[in-house]
Amino acid sequence: CYIGEKMIEHIIIPTLGRMDKQLTYNALPEKYQDITKFVVQAHEFEEMKSRYGDKVLCLPTHIDRIAPTREWIFNEFKDTIHFVFDDDLEFVVKEPNPGEGTKWLSRKFTDQDFDDAFDLVNEWIDEGICYGGFLPVWVIPDVRQWPIRECQRIMTNVFYNGPQIPRDLKWCRLHAGEDFDVNLQLLTRGFKNRISAKYMVGCSETNAEGGCSTWRTLEVANQAQQDLADLWPEFVKVKEKDVTSGPSKGKKKLVVTIYHKKAYESSQKAEMNSLEEFF
């Protein structure tokens, strides 16, 4: 059992259009449900509150997109250590197979796995790691980066040691992909993230019913990818890819390659240059 100075105080789940399909919340053991809050848009507040009571927080009426939602959540919980999860996650443990056959073994979290995973995050926070999360299951596993990765992409989930996170981050510069932008802002300021490649999450397909699907068209997503590359030309490269399935089949989508380690290393060079100038 974790014994340390700091630990996760809140779990927050922003949710939209999925009142009766709360996969993340339902996966959590009861003791973690007890520290969970839902964040909903104003038009869903009363109905969601009838289901979950005081666990439900209402966004201001003018907020109807994910970027300002993330900003609002951070400002509400910035004085705490908190974990933000998408509402459609499943939790998976992935480990190398010591026997014959498949290279990796995967299974769903048990209650003990939830304890172990959150204890691990608490230990990282005690060590000075200010943010990070669980690796998405669609990332190709790499035994050289198992069970921990550092300075990586963060998607679908993130924890913050709120008191240690800068207050002047820009959360709303992009209509989509704002999590990539915030991650790069922190890395280039010298904040190293840490990701568990053992404790992982899976989620719904992009633009599954609910969530951002009501407004995040292919055109919106493509523009956000290009905007991200324009903001971070040194660390983000964009290329075209054919959409092979779904309603946008046959169209072109933009995908980005993000050089997270390079972004973090730039902060260390800047710090070294500042020290040299000082002396």
Contact 252, 275 (CB under 8 A): no
Residue 119 has phi, psi (to 5 degrees) of -60, -40
| Mean predicted confidence (pLDDT) in 159-166 | 98
Q: How confident is the model at residue 279 (pLDDT cuts 50, 70, 90)?
A: very low
pLDDT exceeds cutoff 80 at 109:
yes
The mean predicted confidence, pLDDT, of the chain is 92
What residue has token string 């730039």?
266
Residue 185's SS3 state is: helix
One-letter amino acid at 41 equals Q
* Pick from 211, 221, 206, 219: nearest CA to 69: 211
> Where are the alpha helices (H) located in the chain, listed in sequence order?
23-27, 30-33, 42-52, 66-77, 111-126, 178-187, 218-231, 260-278
The pLDDT, as a whole number, for residue 278 is: 45
For residues 89 and 132, what is the distance between their CA atoms, to the nearest angstrom?
16
The pLDDT, as a whole number, for residue 207 is: 46
For residues 210 and 233, what is the distance between their CA atoms, to the nearest angstrom?
32
C-alpha distance from residue 60 to each of 5, 55, 69, 108, 172 (Å): 34, 17, 9, 36, 16
pTM value? 0.91
